[in-house]
Chain A
Amino acid sequence: MQLEQTLAKYFGYTSFRPGQKEVIEAVVEGKDVIALLPTSMGKSLCYQLPGYLFSKPVLIVSPLLSLMQDQVEQLKRLGEKRVVALNSFLSAEEKRYALHYLEQYRFIFTSPEMLLQQQVQEKLSRMELSLIVVDEAHCISQWGFDFRPDYLRIGEWFMQSQRPPVLALSATATDKVLTDIRSTLSLQAPFEFIYDVDRPNIHLGRVLFEDKADKASWILHHIQKTAGPGILYMSSRKRAEQYSETFKQAGIRAAAYHAGFGAEDRQFIQQQFIDGELDWIVATNAFGMGINKADIRQVIHESLPSTVANYMQEIGRAGRDGKPALAILLYSDGDEELAKFVTTGDLPATIHVDRYQELMMQNVLPSQMLKNGELSETAFRVLDYWMKEEPVEQVKIRLNNLALEKYQSIYEMQKIAQTKDCMRRLLVGYFGQNLRENPENCCENCGILYDAIIKGRTEVNLKIEMVSWENRLKQLLVGL
């Protein structure tokens, strides 16, 4: 229970995400730990929370400067002042200061390069740490796709007999990489937590349609007769707004959400959803990051997500309280074409490469293309980057390959939408894991009863009425 209290006190959450608690318990017990958790599953909490239980500093070795900066800022936002990033951004003066007072920080972030410096090593050898965290630990392995040789050089540093426990974190690792992590970091019988991709409490529905109109009426009917809270993912901002409008007119407490709204408005929608003032969010894929709502019962995809990883991440927002939840994928023939259109919209095409070349010859700034609205901003950035890096023919090949990769990802997703076998087995297999058992109401192909998973929409939640400015002011500051 103590862990939950610390979680609420310093981070404002009431429950752990899958895996976090097991990892934190092992870390607190002083074991060496390897934790493989997917991105956005709250890896950093695994060392942040223990930091508040230990009396000595936690050292975090992080290979990416930008990632390090993000994590430092995140901690500062949480009100932590005793945090420092020991990296090449520091001036000589700042570095001297940080090293001098190093024992007094709670979290010390540093890079493998920095750890190779003699003054840093000397300082660290003279002080006590409670934990060493190796972030993005797959970089240690020569088998890892972004291998960092500096990690090998700091290996001996971990061989000392008196070192504190080590926590190795990564989002992805194969068996070979795991072996490398164990040996390079000299881990002692580590506790290993390997995140299970399968979420047995999320039941996988799928409905096939002949045409779009059927789909639209199915959605309205389904949302009118079943209970939320739920998220309906749409492929475009405009459609998200249209659907949300239809739902509101049908008396459903819904709101649209996409990146086109201002930051405050987006936060208001999230908070209304978390506080139970809304039953449905009709969203583009911009919705979800940082949403911590445990009781989402349904996630419906109106159109095909662009990758299986996105799909897993989006349906993974359901049922975080461990209770049954339903994910329904809606598919009609040809949906993949729309998905292709949407995902390659941010990719420059061969004609854009030629046009870029043409403008350069005429001594016109290529950004003119952007001003003319010939391609999207993201597409232009991609094009501009590669045109400065590589010869034209190479860029064309590269862009072509990028498009093919995107098509391939969509095809993988399409297979899940069309399969006649177990959807769960296919999904889990995509991430290189084996499904241990099929839960009851596993998926559309194994047999599924929606009514056994979700409740009917019995009580009609009334629209929230506005109160007078005087009462609202009271609610906000002094209580009614």
Chain B
Amino acid sequence: MFQQILLQIFQKLNNERTVSAAYHLLRGKRSGQTIQDVGLFQLHAYFGLLPKMTRATFDAEVHTFMQYSWLEIQESGHYYLKKLGLQRAEQTPDFLFDGWHYRGNEHVFFARLSLIIQSLSYQRAGIRSFSPISKDPQVQAWVRAFLLDHSFQSGQLQQQLFDECEKVLATIQLSNANKQLVLYRLSGHGIPGWTWQQLASERKETVLDSQLAFIEVLHTLLNEVYTTNTYPLLGKIAEGLRVKALLTDSAQQTAHLYEQGYSLAQIVQMRRLKQSTIEDHLVEMAMNEPNFSIGAFVSYTDAEKVWQASKQLQTKKLKALHEAVEGMSYFQLRLILAKGEV
């Protein structure tokens, strides 16, 4: 699965970036460049899937790709997918990740759910004391409040939560094997969970692939819970975990000032930041806020020219477009690309 994901990312960024762009994307780096890449190349699904992946793990995979003759790195540092690599990328299945909206919060959801299910399992067995599967005090406090709010002492919560879990798992379009994987990361009284190693060896894959399959189930499940509103308990457990503000904190401050009517130059003054930083923020806004108008910075005619050129030359490379369309600044080009064709 890791290979397939990497192939898909490399396909989208083909010829445009170095391999590191994919690394930063998977780790969810919050830099202007990575966030722009997400918008430009439609990489939302993969953002921050593996926040703890080491560079060594990543490089080893790239090395494998080179050995398979899927990929080659140019002198400039950019890579390109070879014919075989492109073929392989075409053969990969569509995944249902949604990294952009969860950014690792799926693990918080699962920590809460694990502790709730463990508590309910022990309660059903009549045992009051057990070693909590989540040691995180925040998760523990959250679960304690949840259990009390839902009067777990009554013994009804088990059936209600069972019904919701069964319904959501039956609804989502993923393999039974992957749903089973998630269930085996849960534990209860007399029902130990399975370690990643045990699961990966049973599934005959790497630990990383098992972990990715697990994340895909959680993203899909969370999206189902958020969009349909028919899972009161799971909805509560998922509360506050979907990222709403799509901008970085600093960009959020700039957006606030911009909405109040301050100009780019004024914001640079007020925030004592470099002009290029404020420009990054405006580009980020252009990418994420549907109502953001780039009209204050470029004319529609100019934007039209850039879109045309991008299509003709089959590139989103700023340098190439800068040469092709005269009289445009890099900032203007980035705004136009970020906004996408209207």
Q: How large is the interface on A (under 10, 10 to 19, 20 to 34, 35 or more residues)?
A: 20 to 34
In the complex, chain B residues whose CB is within 8 Å of the CB of A290: 131
Q: How far is the CB of B252 from chain A (nearest CB, A)?
A: 33
In the complex, chain A residues whose CB is within 8 Å of the CB of B129: 10-12, 78-79
CB–CB B194/A478 < 8 A: no
Distance of A425 Cα from B184 Cα, bound (Å): 47
Q: How far is the CB of B40 from chain A (nearest CB, A)?
A: 35
Distance of A102 Cα from B193 Cα, bound (Å): 42
- Would you call B66 an interface residue if the criterion is a C-beta within 8 Å of the partner chain's C-beta atoms? no
Binds A, one of B158-166, B241-249, B279-287, B332-340: B158-166
- Would you call B263 an interface residue if the criterion is a C-beta within 8 Å of the partner chain's C-beta atoms? no
Q: Known interface pairs A10-B128, A264-B185, A479-B124. Does A468 touch B180 (Cβ–Cβ under 8 Å)?
A: yes
CB–CB A470/B187 < 8 A: no
Q: Tally inter-chain residue pairs, CB-CB below 8 A.
A: 92
Q: Known interface pairs A10-B129, A275-B190, A476-B191. Does A469 touch B185 (Cβ–Cβ under 8 Å)?
A: no
- Would you call B268 an interface residue if the criterion is a C-beta within 8 Å of the partner chain's C-beta atoms? no
Q: How far is the CB of A260 from chain B (nearest CB, A)?
A: 11
In the complex, chain A residues whose CB is within 8 Å of the CB of B324: none
- Would you call B169 an interface residue if the criterion is a C-beta within 8 Å of the partner chain's C-beta atoms? yes
In the complex, chain A residues whose CB is within 8 Å of the CB of B197: 255-256, 261, 265
In the complex, chain A residues whose CB is within 8 Å of the CB of B169: 469, 473
In the complex, chain B residues whose CB is within 8 Å of the CB of A472: 180, 183-184, 186, 191
Select which of A9, A264, A470, A479 is within 8 A of B128 by beta carbon.
A9
Chain A residue nearest to B193 in the complex (CB): A268
In residues 24-41 of chain B, which contact A (Cβ within 8 Å)? none
- Would you call A236 an interface residue if the criterion is a C-beta within 8 Å of the partner chain's C-beta atoms? no
Q: How far is the CB of A229 from chain B (nearest CB, A)?
A: 14
Q: How far is the CB of A297 from chain B (nearest CB, A)?
A: 20
Chain A residue nearest to B190 in the complex (CB): A275
- Would you call A84 an interface residue if the criterion is a C-beta within 8 Å of the partner chain's C-beta atoms? no
CB–CB A277/B124 < 8 A: no
Distance of A470 Cα from B198 Cα, bound (Å): 20
- Would you call B179 an interface residue if the criterion is a C-beta within 8 Å of the partner chain's C-beta atoms? yes
In residues 93-127 of chain B, which contact A (Cβ within 8 Å)? 114, 117, 120-121, 124, 127
In the complex, chain A residues whose CB is within 8 Å of the CB of B190: 275
CB–CB B176/A468 < 8 A: yes
In the complex, chain B residues whose CB is within 8 Å of the CB of A269: 195
Distance of A468 Cα from B177 Cα, bound (Å): 8
Select which of A466, A470, A477, A479 is within 8 A of B161 by beta carbon.
A477
Distance of A470 Cα from B117 Cα, bound (Å): 15
CB–CB B158/A478 < 8 A: yes
Q: How far is the CB of B167 from chain A (nearest CB, A)?
A: 11
In the complex, chain A residues whose CB is within 8 Å of the CB of B132: 77
CB–CB A267/B131 < 8 A: yes
Distance of A78 Cα from B183 Cα, bound (Å): 27
Distance of A290 Cα from B187 Cα, bound (Å): 19
In the complex, chain B residues whose CB is within 8 Å of the CB of A255: 195, 197-198
Chain B residue nearest to A272 in the complex (CB): B192
Distance of A271 Cα from B120 Cα, bound (Å): 17
Q: How far is the CB of A261 from chain B (nearest CB, A)?
A: 7
CB–CB B162/A478 < 8 A: yes
In the complex, chain A residues whose CB is within 8 Å of the CB of B176: 468-469
Q: How far is the CB of A44 from chain B (nearest CB, A)?
A: 14
User: Chain B 145-171 against A: per-residue CB contact (8 Å), 1 yes, 0 no?
Assistant: 000000000000011011001100100
CB–CB A475/B180 < 8 A: no
- Would you call A474 an interface residue if the criterion is a C-beta within 8 Å of the partner chain's C-beta atoms? yes
Select which of B131, B159, B182, B194 is within 8 A of A477 by beta carbon.
B159
CB–CB A476/B192 < 8 A: no
CB–CB B193/A264 < 8 A: yes
- Would you call B318 an interface residue if the criterion is a C-beta within 8 Å of the partner chain's C-beta atoms? no
Select which of B128, B186, B187, B192 is within 8 A of A12 by beta carbon.
B128
In the complex, chain B residues whose CB is within 8 Å of the CB of A469: 169, 176, 179-180, 182-183
Q: How far is the CB of A469 from chain B (nearest CB, A)?
A: 4
In residues 126-145 of chain B, which contact A (Cβ within 8 Å)? 127-133, 135
- Would you call A365 an interface residue if the criterion is a C-beta within 8 Å of the partner chain's C-beta atoms? no
Select which of A79, A466, A475 is within 8 A of B202 by beta carbon.
A466
Chain B residue nearest to A269 in the complex (CB): B195
Q: Known interface pairs A277-B192, A469-B180. Does A476 touch B117 (Cβ–Cβ under 8 Å)?
A: yes
In residues 189-209 of chain A, which contact B (Cβ within 8 Å)? none
CB–CB A475/B188 < 8 A: yes
Chain A residue nearest to B130 in the complex (CB): A12
User: Chain A 245-276 against B: per-residue CB contact (8 Å), 1 yes, 0 no?
Assistant: 00000000001100001111101110110010
Chain A residue nearest to B198 in the complex (CB): A255
In the complex, chain A residues whose CB is within 8 Å of the CB of B162: 473-474, 477-478
- Would you call B2 an interface residue if the criterion is a C-beta within 8 Å of the partner chain's C-beta atoms? no
CB–CB A264/B133 < 8 A: yes
Q: Known interface pairs A79-B129, A263-B135, A275-B190. Does A473 touch B166 (Cβ–Cβ under 8 Å)?
A: yes
Distance of A267 Cα from B162 Cα, bound (Å): 24
In the complex, chain A residues whose CB is within 8 Å of the CB of B193: 264, 267-268, 271
- Would you call B196 an interface residue if the criterion is a C-beta within 8 Å of the partner chain's C-beta atoms? yes
CB–CB A271/B187 < 8 A: yes
In the complex, chain A residues whose CB is within 8 Å of the CB of B183: 469, 472-473, 476
Select which of A263, A268, A473, A479 is within 8 A of B192 by beta carbon.
A268
14 CB < 8 A contacts A-B:
A11-B129, A79-B129, A255-B195, A265-B196, A265-B197, A267-B187, A268-B193, A473-B162, A473-B183, A476-B120, A476-B183, A476-B187, A477-B120, A477-B158
Question: B residues near A, CB below 8 A?
Answer: 114, 117, 120-121, 124, 127-133, 135, 158-159, 161-162, 165-166, 169, 176, 179-180, 182-188, 190-198, 202
- 10 shortest interchain CB distances as A-B pairs: A271-B192, A12-B129, A265-B195, A477-B162, A472-B183, A469-B179, A268-B193, A272-B192, A469-B180, A476-B188
